[in-house]
Amino acid sequence: KQLRVMDMTAISLAMDNHLPVVVFNLKEKGNIKRVGCGEAIGTYIHN
């Protein structure tokens, strides 16, 4: 599927700083706005 999510540095920084991450399709029109508005799309990752 050629999934490209995040590099290990970005993941480590998010985890170390207790920041949630939302993984979603950047190529789908309107998704950035939807995520920014708090709409539940993609996968929400937190620790």
Residues facing 45 on adjacent strands: 21
Q: Where are the domains of the chain?
A: 8-45
CA distances for 27 relative to 1, 14, 20, 24, 42, angstroms: 14, 23, 21, 9, 12
| Rg over CA atoms, the chain | 11
Q: pLDDT tens digit string along 4-30?
A: 777 888 888 988 999 998 989 989 999
* Confidence bin at 1 (pLDDT 50/70/90): low
User: What's this model's pTM, rounded to 2 decimal places?
Assistant: 0.68
**Spatial distance between the Cα atoms of 27 and 33, rounded to a whole number of angstroms:** 12
Per-residue b/e over 1-24, b at no fewer than 16 CB within 10 Å?
eeeeeeeeeeeeebeeeeeebbee
